[in-house]
Amino acid sequence: MKTDRRSFIRTSAVAGAAFTAAPFIRAAAPGRKFRTALIGCGWWGKNILKEAMASGCCQTVALADVDATVLEVAADQVNALSGDTPKTYKDYRELLAREKPDIAIIATPDHWHALNTIAAVAAGAHVFVEKPTGHTVNESRAMVKAVRDSGRVAQIGLHRRIGPHHVSGIQFLKSGAVGEVGMVRVFAHGGGDVEKPAPNEEPPDGMDWNFWCGPAPLRPFNKRIHPGGWRNYLDYANGQLGDWGVHWLDQVMWWSDGAPLKRVFCAGGRPVRGAPVLNAKEQTTDAPDHQIATYEFEKFTCVWEHRRFADNNSEKHKIGAYFYGTKGVLHLGWRDGWTFYPAAKSGKIEHGAPQLQEPDGHNLALLWSDFMAAIDARRAPVANIEVAHRASVLPLLGMVSWRTGRSLAWDAATETIIGDPEANGLLSRPYREPWIYPQA
């Protein structure tokens, strides 16, 4: 599952070109392009923006990033690709106020998603924001409210909601071919080892590190955090569970039509990576190197597992979801597509080939196309805010259980933890001044 996450501009048609969306033809106002802005100009943000440019429906008018060099590079790349000359901003609030974009793409780290999204829809923009929705549960709830109140379209980056082999895999499940499914196992495994601390440094010239940290705690700058490493720092994200976990738990929500969670228990730690280090001189990551979370639903149980060591070569599939049914096991995966292993000895293995955009193995073009169509048709997109909220809450609750070390009973109707004030307190977190935690 190692991928190189650095590619932005490619020279020619990608291998998976067959699975990119056909250019979306806008029914309403066909000549006019959406004034589009990108907030957070890292690798993934630019991948999304590239789909916006490729769709032919968007003009890139502005970019925001707290690192002046990153901004300069992104503006140059946009110009090379589209001829657009976007204005650049350090502060997303200034961008929204001055540019009034039709669309804001938000690809900041998780701890910024809520504030960015709420400000963007309040400024009248449709939003494409990365998963997970929030960093804590109540941020996610505030995002749902803000999007609903605004009447804007929000698409969340759960491209596995529209990826062709996911669509056919879920169809296969829903057809009853797997029988009664009583248990699901979702997982993401990779290799890894002991972690040595990396030295803290001065932030790069032209980067406002204080702003990058924003509402989250201000850690000393460290290259292991940025660029590209913040997912394993719990101040800014929620480790593997808050990354891959969202995608695969969303597949479970899709299959189960959003079954309400009843109870969760999560265990895990850093027996291999080692105890987290954070001092003035150096630091390590602090996300668990493995976690197991058990999610109890009325009609089935779902287990999440991740391990960042012992790269699991003993199993056929290293990532994805196993749906265990009376007629067999369906594995829904990534680059291995989906595979059905029938229970009956006489049964035939069935396979759905992966259909992905390479080299990164996603389906962003399709997701972007659906976003455009949803805006024009004034309908909900496939990975709308309610869908993404449901999928994001599961890992976030897993993290609360892991932090408190106990099983949590969840009231899905009120979105509160039953009889546990301390755990309920962890559905939010204190913000660093001057930032204010958003309210649902």
Partner 1 sequence: MRLRKSSARGHAQLAALFLAAAPLLAHAADWPQWRGPARNGIATEKGWLDQFPAVGPKIAWRAQVGLGASSFVVAGGRAFTMGHADGKDTVFCFEASSGKPIWKHSYPAELGDKFFEGGTTGTPTLDGDRLYTLSRWGDTFCFDAATGKILWSVNVQKETGCRVPDWGFTGAPLVLDGRLILNVGEAGVALDKTTGKILWKSGDKDAGYSTPLPVELGGRTLVLLGSSKSYLAVTPVDGKEAWRAAWVTEYGVNAADPIVSGGRMFISSGYGKGGALFTLGTGAPDEVWRARAFRTQLNAAVLHAGHLYGVDGDTTSIGGIKCLDFATGTEKWAHKDFRVGALSMADGLLLALSGTGTLVIAPASPAEFKPTATAKILDGKCWTAPVLAHGLIYCRNTNGAVVVVDARKP
Strand 338-342 to 350-352 pairing? antiparallel
* Residue 331 DSSP one-character state: E
Closest distance of CB 70 from partner 1, Å:
8
CB closer to partner 1, 179 vs 204: 204
CA distances from 158 to 132, 251, 324, 370, 412 (A): 9, 10, 23, 12, 22
Closest distance of CB 73 from partner 1, Å:
5
Q: Which of 77, 71, 64 is nearest to 105 (CA)?
A: 64
Residue bearing tokens 């802005």: 37
Tokens for 157? 């980056």
Strand partners, 292: 267, 305
CA distance 434 to 92: 15
CB closer to partner 1, 74 vs 383: 74
CB closer to partner 1, 149 vs 201: 201
CB closer to partner 1, 70 vs 373: 70
CA distance 214 to 211: 5
Closest distance of CB 64 from partner 1, Å:
17
Q: Which of 113, 161, 163 is nearest to 134 (CA)?
A: 113
Closest distance of CB 293 from partner 1, Å:
27
Closest distance of CB 326 from partner 1, Å:
43
Closest distance of CB 251 from partner 1, Å:
26
Torsion of CA 284, 288, 289, 294, to 10 degrees: -170
CB closer to partner 1, 209 vs 437: 209
CB closer to partner 1, 82 vs 251: 82
Tell whether the torsion through CA atoms of 133, 357, 3 and 266 is positive or negative: positive
CB closer to partner 1, 72 vs 84: 72
Q: Which residues contact 83 (CB under 8 A, 6 or more apart)?
A: none
Rg (alpha carbons) of the chain, rounded to whole number: 21
Contacts to partner 1 by CB under 8 A: 2, 4-15, 69-70, 72-73, 76-77, 80-81, 196, 201-202, 204-205, 223, 227-228, 359-360
Closest distance of CB 192 from partner 1, Å:
10
